């Protein structure tokens, strides 16, 4: 277990607090403004990696070490300010996991507020999934295994935040833009500026009047009332998983249901279709059909309207741990949107050899036409 000090709350001011004293206690490496200006060629526009609600992010190279870094510069006119800056520093200086972005240091010289992170060469998941021109080999669409490895790793990161960090942490802003990719598509969760310390054992939920994050990824209770629990992140994870599976954006105003989670639930409840038809056609049907069905089921359970029906991230990780053991690959015809007719190209290992009782139940939920089994609509619910 890693201890996280309850120094600040994302939605609270810090009256009388001394940022410099706090940063010293956290043992954060401090950079001068000139060091970071040199690293980014005086914040040259050609070095810009992207821009979010915090401000622009520049690629840089530290002169002293030659290390490549990403430098995020607080925009004083932006949606986030010093509180979010300090929360990011507090969180990332205390939280350590292979799938969380690493904070190298920061700058608080005069009015400047800059954060320095490890550089992630493959950009964000959003860029890889939605924004890249996939016509060149180096920008080829993500294959099924890569998508599931990314989802599995992100689930592990959130299991750490919810169940190993003390107190637990609610991220509140999980989306593909905040999942950065390193070599080999190794994902790391970033952007902890609006994160909150989660409920303690005697406080099952907390409320905030600072309802932030993107609506398409926000749990209904969070968007409507500001109620926050770890199950809020579970909902967001479910939406990201659905994006990885379908290749569709979380929000599309031209879609029958604008929000992806609502659309998938609607399609599988009210329409006669094969679940496999939801697959991103850019995968050309190259995925294990049984695991595909289970992955969809995980996404559906994570995006239940009632947070009590959503699994914990520990349950999600346990289920996804077993995905890799089934290796039956099918080829769905007609761009992966019709009935499956391909033959297995690998031996199908017996489910009972590897899968937990919870996962076995999950596997039975979806029939050939995507109908819910009367056994139980929540495979994580204890009998």
177 a catalytic residue: no
Other CB atoms within a 10 A radius of the CB of residue 5 amount to 14
Structural domains in the chain plus CATH codes: 2-118 (3.30.200.20), 125-364 (1.10.510.10)
Place of tokens 């996280």: 4
The 3-state DSSP class for residue 166 equals strand
Burial 35-51 (b: 16+ CB within 10 A, else e): bbbebbeebeeebebee
* pLDDT band, residue 11 (cuts 50/70/90): very low
Residue 192: closest CA among 29, 52, 39? 52
Q: Select which of 131, 133, 143, 173 is catalytic.
A: 173
Decide if pLDDT at 135 tops 70.
Answer: no
pLDDT, residue 14, reads 39
pLDDT, residue 80, reads 66
* pLDDT band, residue 51 (cuts 50/70/90): confident
Q: List 180's β-bridge partners, or say none.
A: 124, 188
Decide if pLDDT at 211 tops 70.
Answer: no
CB 190 within 8 A of CB 178: yes
Residue 158: closest CA among 183, 130, 192, 125? 192
* pLDDT band, residue 370 (cuts 50/70/90): very low
User: pTM (2 decimals)?
Assistant: 0.79
Q: Which residue has the higher pLDDT, 67 or 5?
A: 67
């Amino acid at each position: 277990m890693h201890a996280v000090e309850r120094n600040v709350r994302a939605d609270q001011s810090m009256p009388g607090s001394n940022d410099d004293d706090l940063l010293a206690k956290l043992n954060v490496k401090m950079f001068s403004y000139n060091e970071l200006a040199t690293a980014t060629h005086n914040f040259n526009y050609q070095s810009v990696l992207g821009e979010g609600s915090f401000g622009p992010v520049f690629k840089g190279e530290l002169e002293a070490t030659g290390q490549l870094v990403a430098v995020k510069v607080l925009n004083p006119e932006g949606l986030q300010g010093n509180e979010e800056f300090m929360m990011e520093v507090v969180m990332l200086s205390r939280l350590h996991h292979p799938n969380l972005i690493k904070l190298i240091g920061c700058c608080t010289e005069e009015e400047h507020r800059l954060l320095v992170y490890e550089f992630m060469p493959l950009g964000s998941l959003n860029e890889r999934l939605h924004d890249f021109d996939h016509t060149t080999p180096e920008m080829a669409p993500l294959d099924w295994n890569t998508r599931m490895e990314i989802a599995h790793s992100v689930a592990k990161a959130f299991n750490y935040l919810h169940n190993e960090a003390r107190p637990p942490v609610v991220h509140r802003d999980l989306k593909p833009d905040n999942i950065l990719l390193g070599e080999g598509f190794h994902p790391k969760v970033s952007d902890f500026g609006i994160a909150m310390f989660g409920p303690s054992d005697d406080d099952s939920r907390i409320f905030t009047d600072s309802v932030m994050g993107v609506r398409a990824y926000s749990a209904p209770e969070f968007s409507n009332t500001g109620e926050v629990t770890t199950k809020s992140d579970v909902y967001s994870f479910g939406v990201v998983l659905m994006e990885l599976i379908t290749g569709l954006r979380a929000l599309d105003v031209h879609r029958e249901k604008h929000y992806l989670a609502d659309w998938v639930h609607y399609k599988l409840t009210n329409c006669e279709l094969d679940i496999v038809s939801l697959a991103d056609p850019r995968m050309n049907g190259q995925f294990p059909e049984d695991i595909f069905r289970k992955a969809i089921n995980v996404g559906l359970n994570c995006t239940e309207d009632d947070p009590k029906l959503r699994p914990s991230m520990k349950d999600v990780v346990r289920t996804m741990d077993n995905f890799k053991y089934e290796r039956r690959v099918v080829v769905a015809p007609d761009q992966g949107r019709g009935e499956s007719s391909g033959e297995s190209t690998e031996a199908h290992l017996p489910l009972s050899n590897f899968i937990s009782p919870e996962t076995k139940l999950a596997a039975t939920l979806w029939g050939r036409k995507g109908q819910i089994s009367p056994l139980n609509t929540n495979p994580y619910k204890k009998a």
